[in-house]
Amino acid sequence: MILVKQEATNKENSSCIYLIDKKSKSKDFDPQFSHSIAGIIAGTKKFDYLRLSNSFVFFVFDDQKPEELRVIGSRIHDMICADCEVISISGKSKNSCFLAEGIALTNYQFLKYLSKPKKHTLTEIILSDEVEKEKIDELNDTIKAVFWARDAVNTPVSDLNALQLAEAVVKLGEEANFQVQVLEKTQIESLKMGGLLAVNKGSIDPPTFTIAEYKHKKALNKKPIVLVGKGVVYDTGGLSLKPTPGSMDCMKCDMAGAAAVAGALYLAALQKLKLHIIVLIPATDNRPGGNAYTPGDVITMYNGSSVEVLNTDAEGRMILADALSYSMKYDPEIVIDAATLTGSALRAIGTEASIIMGNAKNHYFEELEKAGNEVHERVVRFPFWDDYAKHMESKIADLKNIGGPNAGMISAGKFLEHFLKAPYIHMDVAGPTWLDSREDYKGQGGTGSGVRLLYQFLKNHSS
Ligand code: BES
Ligand code: ZN
Ligand code: ZN
């Protein structure tokens, strides 16, 4: 794991970054570089560099947006990752942190299945004494939480079934000091969570229902914030089987919502936010095996509603519905779910953002949008008119589990809304949580998207 710190170590291969204020004079720099500074300041580039015998000196203009700095950090990482162990950044507090964040998140690698891994050499980012210690701690915790979520998403179902996902959350709780209770199949049966049990019927692995609770002694919210994450550890589509290429092959990512809410809780607890937060993760794989649930089945859900199954690939809403109904026992201030729920969300806005919708008061949406812009995990609000609920009407049950051909991401949200009576925001994260090919510091494969967004939302909400 890369570490951001302040005191320098004398490791051999090190490079450095100067964050240049336009007002800087060349005399502010090491005399050996000062001759190049004037030229760089006069130029229009966003960053420039000198290549020395076995290291680099980078010059980055300070007057750039946070996201531009993260992306520059990522490009700098690409240039140094083959042989540099340490990079130091001199410059103003906030902006050097954005650069460090971009560099550190780019340093992520998923190597556990490679027999001859080519490891990045970078192990440390050194920031100047001007940067507050708390900021550095927050950055290190953020990196840890995002890497945890990426690892969880990248790990195939052969090594991360529902039980293993639950155990991974238990470990987070032990480290960051929050309570985790894992309900096993017999308990899920006693609770009559029909949606979760139906999806699990084709699997030989049992389902789990994980309940994690973090409560600061001086929590500012009287009622808890409940975060629910879709934990489908693999989605074959079930009997409504998905085609393989470009569709089923990346479906180990179908627990990215669970990874996002667990990662955000982990980070919130490490940072000791003054909040009361509960995370619920219903988890199972979705397979067409043995006694798999079938199109045509009518399922009695945890809250007693009946659902006609018309497509077993619409399984996320089946397991989330039970978790959302279960959340009512906490009398929550707000319930937010994160779920890789629909292909239509991905098609509508691509990997660039998550879609949000719901019935919570406007200020919650504004807070989420603000947090999303701050960390560049953006969200786009979609309509949530009651007209869309009609898409989910069944002739023989209270609801059916698929809507019409259009606006599938919204009708899915309306289906979920049926199962709770509390202010609610549904977040479809199918787009940004997985990347088929690499995009700067977000990497390739699991991005950990949602962790920084939800943490920033929680942090802003607690101050
Ligand atoms: N897990 C998928 C959605 C998904 C698609 C996530 C692409 C990430 C990338 C979900 O369970 C699903 O299959 N949804 C169906 C619903 C449909 C059958 C109503 C879909 O979107 O096609
Ligand atoms: Zn599915
Ligand atoms: Zn799914």
Read off the pLDDT band of 7 (50, 70, 90): confident
pLDDT at 22 over 90: no
pLDDT of residue 39: 66
Read off the pLDDT band of 25 (50, 70, 90): low
3-state secondary structure 203-271: CCCCCEEEEEEEECCCCCCCCCEEEEECEEEEECCCCCCCCHHHHHCCHHHHHHHHHHHHHHHHHHHHC
The dihedrals phi and psi of 436, each to the nearest 5 degrees, come to: -65, -35
The pLDDT tens digits of the residues spanning 270-290 come to 999 999 999 999 999 999 999
Residues 267 and 409 in one domain: yes
Kindly report which listed range (20-29, 95-104, 162-171, 409-418) carries the lowest average pLDDT score: 20-29
pLDDT at 40 over 70: no
The rounded Å distance from CA 197 to ligand 1 centre is 19
The pLDDT tens digits of the residues spanning 320-344 come to 999 999 999 999 999 999 999 999 9
Can you state the percent helix, strand and coil of the chain, rounding each to 5? 40, 20, 35
Per the structure, how many domains does the chain have? 2
Q: Pick from 131, 160, 183: which residue ends a domain?
A: 131
Residues 373 and 332 in one domain: yes
Nearest CA to ligand 1 atom 14: 342
Residues 97 and 169 in one domain: no
- From the DSSP assignment, how many helices (H) and strands (E) are in the chain? 13, 20
In a domain, 282, yes or no: yes
In a domain, 221, yes or no: yes
Residues 327 and 247 in one domain: yes
Residue carrying structure tokens 């719901």: 358
pLDDT of residue 353: 98
Q: Give the largest CA-CA distance in the chain.
A: 81
pLDDT at 30 over 80: no
The pLDDT tens digits of the residues spanning 194-243 come to 999 999 999 999 999 999 999 999 999 999 999 999 999 999 999 999 99
Cα separation values, 164 from 59, 182, 291, 341, Å? 45, 11, 23, 22
- When pLDDT is averaged across residues 135-156 and rounded to a whole number, the result is 98
Residues 58 and 173 in one domain: no
Cβ neighbors of 204 (< 8 A, separation 6 or more) are 289, 290
Q: How far apart are CA 197 and CA 195, in angstroms?
A: 5
Residues 250 and 276 in one domain: yes
Range of the domain at 359: 147-461
- When pLDDT is averaged across residues 43-54 and rounded to a whole number, the result is 86
pLDDT of residue 41: 65
In a domain, 338, yes or no: yes
pLDDT of residue 3: 84
Q: Which residues line ligand 1 (CB under 6 A)?
A: 235, 254, 311, 313-316, 340-344, 346, 402, 408, 430
The rounded Å distance from CA 265 to ligand 1 centre is 25
Residues 171 and 203 in one domain: yes
In a domain, 73, yes or no: yes
Residues 85 and 183 in one domain: no
Q: What sign does the CA torsion over 22, 26, 28, 30 have?
A: positive
pLDDT of residue 432: 98
pLDDT of residue 27: 62
Measure the CA dihedral 404/408/411/412, to 10°. Answer: 120
Residues 447 and 435 sit within 8 Å (Cβ to Cβ): yes
- When pLDDT is averaged across residues 247-263 and rounded to a whole number, the result is 98
Residue 248, judged by CB atoms within 10 A of its CB (0-12, 13-18, 19+), counts as middle
Kindly report which listed range (37-41, 138-142, 168-172, 291-295) carries the lowest average pLDDT score: 37-41
pLDDT of residue 164: 98
- DSSP for residue 150: H
Residue 7: count other Cβ atoms within 10 Å of its Cβ: 6
Displacement of CA 229 from its chain's centroid (Å): 10
In a domain, 72, yes or no: yes
pLDDT of residue 345: 98
Q: Pick from 67, 100, 131: which residue ends a domain?
A: 131
Residues 312 and 194 in one domain: yes
- When pLDDT is averaged across residues 130-149 and rounded to a whole number, the result is 97
The rounded Å distance from CA 148 to ligand 1 centre is 24
Q: How far apart are CA 423 and CA 332, in angstroms?
A: 8
- Find residue 20's DSSP bridge partners: 61
Residues 368 and 441 in one domain: yes
The pLDDT tens digits of the residues spanning 107-118 come to 999 999 999 999
pLDDT of residue 142: 98
pLDDT of residue 163: 98
**Which of ligand 1's atoms lies nearest the C-alpha of 254?**
1
Per cent of the chain over pLDDT 90 is: 87
Q: What positions carry a catalytic annotation? A: 242, 317
- Ligand 2 (ion): residues with CB under 5 Å are 235, 313, 315
CATH of the domain at 118: 3.40.220.10
Read off the pLDDT band of 21 (50, 70, 90): confident
In a domain, 136, yes or no: no
How many residues are listed for the chain in this entry? Answer: 463
Residues 201 and 80 in one domain: no
Nearest CA to ligand 1 atom 17: 314
Residues 371 and 423 in one domain: yes
pLDDT of residue 6: 84
In a domain, 141, yes or no: no
Residues 317 and 426 sit within 8 Å (Cβ to Cβ): no
| Between residues 395 and 36, the one the model is more confident about | 395
pLDDT at 16 over 70: yes
CATH of the domain at 250: 3.40.630.10
Of 42, 78, 43, 48, which is closest to residue 60 (Cα–Cα)?
A: 48
